[in-house]
Structure 1
């Protein structure tokens, strides 16, 4: 490898591309043409001798090498910024960056959201990628399998609950089992979502007949349809139902664990540590 050809400009451009995974938006941010950005990234990949991204259908995904390059580029930019500030006698404060999904922000991290923290809204895969590439200091997500390349800290585990109108017959019971859902019409996420997949497996294993009332994306829409009487919804216990709905724990469904994840290179980072401590102190009780 000819390290003399490793362009810091190409690294900086790749970091922007890694944030968007879209050549059009990245080129706009960089104020260059798409062909120019393609050339920068192609030459960077040729210099490193590794593919930095792959195409999956209509979407782009970073390779593990691409994630490492993006993280290196961001770390390099942060070190240069700190060096220049030191030379100039200034002391810039790095803003902590948190990545999480809609549900975590709405029902788990509300007391943490404030000016001074940069937020990235992403699904589970996007949250892990943001941490791996250095975009985020910390990510919060539900994990059934812990990633081997990241450090994970269990924040809390919440039971799975059934949400229903307060006048529904099952609302009179303090707790429920899967058998109580027999014959129910459920408001569920799309088929490819991890929550939908896990719920379907549990119902199938218990041989519980059920039907789909409607498919909806995100806890707020699931709750909205439940409040309209379209069907019942199974949601994580940290989700707060609106007035008119009640939730009851489903005893034979496993608890849902929320983890905070960070890259090993951030283990001793005081900004990450302070953000994690703030989250732990603000969590709603299980």
Structure 2
């Protein structure tokens, strides 16, 4: 393959496609037709001689080559912008990008969220993908398995806690064990999520019978259902309960570790170090590792 055959337009288009993993939404952002975008991506794949994405039913996923191409495309775009800024004697307009999930934004990163930062919202898998492809300069997520291709910097750990109405009998105790939850009706995440899987495993291992009150996606909806008296819930300790609810630590559940994520090659990048410094300052020392 000759580098001269690589289309910078196709690379830029593929970077947008990699953000959405959806041809319709990416084409709308690029203001081109969906077939035109499909042709650009297909020709880029043919030029490289590698598949850039795979299809699993209706879901698309980047291949390892696709991840590398998306990262290269964004790096090239940043270099071109810096070069043009140098030619014109202006400062490059580099806006830091942060990826995290709903819970992290609401209960961990509140003081960091401000104008001037591009925010990307997604679950753990999407946060990792945003960092791998260069879409995000820094990601924040709970990790139970350390990725081998991403630098994971410990930020803070929180206990897992039971959230309940403040007049619930268990609220009278300073802390709880899993056996205290015997017979409880719980508000729990969907069954395929990592939190639900770990929770079911722990309850089963402790021989604790429980029932499902309702499935809820995200801490805010979970807290809402608990406030309505539908059930109790186990959440991360950084979650702030609304008035009328209290939390108690469950001492035999493992602590939840939050990490900042970035590409190893960008450890000294000012966008990465700046965001990381802001996050550490916002967290303070109460739960810092």
So what's the TM-score if we normalise by structure 1?
0.98
My pick for the range that moved more, 50-59 or 126-135, is 50-59
Structure 1: distance between partners of 2:228 and 2:107: 21
Displacement of 1:3 in angstroms is 2.4
Q: For the aligned residues, what is the CA RMSD?
A: 0.9
| SS state at 2:170 partner | helix
User: Following TM superposition, where does structure 1 have runs of at least 4 consecutive aligned residues deviating by more than 6 angstroms?
Assistant: none
Q: Which residue of 1 aligns with 2:26?
A: 26
Distance 1:133 1:127 in 2: 10
Map Cα deviations across residues 3-59 of structure 1 (whole Å, 9 max, x no partner).
Answer: 221111110110111111111111112122111111111111111111100112211
CA–CA distance in structure 2, aligned partners of residues 212 and 32 of structure 1 = 47
Which SS does the other structure have where 2:192 is aligned?
coil
Whether contact under 8 Å (1:161, 1:237) holds in the other structure is yes
CA deviation digits over 1:228-251, x for unaligned, max 9? 111100000000000100100000
Unaligned ranges ≥5, structure 2: none
Task: Note the C-alpha offset of 1:101.
Answer: 0.2
Conserved 8 A contact 1:67-1:132:
yes
The alignment partner of 1:43 has SS state of: helix
Matched, 1:155 2:155: yes
Instruction: Work out the number of aligned pairs and report it.
Output: 286
* 1:187–1:215 contact (8 Å) kept in structure 2: yes
Deviation digits for residues 189-239 of structure 1 (CA, Å, limit 9, x no counterpart): 111111111000000111100000011110011111111111100000000
1:272 aligns with 2:282: no
Q: Secondary structure at the match of 2:68?
A: helix
**In structure 1, what is the equivalent of residue 240 of structure 2?**
240
Distance 1:224 1:114 in 2: 26
Structure-1 residue corresponding to 2:260: 260
Q: Which ranges in structure 1 are unaligned for 5 or more consecutive residues?
A: none
TM-score (norm 2): 0.97
SS of the aligned residue for 1:247 comes to strand
Structure 1 contact 11–70 (Cα < 8 Å) conserved: yes
Per the alignment, in what secondary structure is the counterpart of residue 217 of structure 1? coil
Partner in structure 2 of residue 107 of structure 1: 107
d(CA) in 1 for partners of 2:157 and 2:272?
Answer: 22
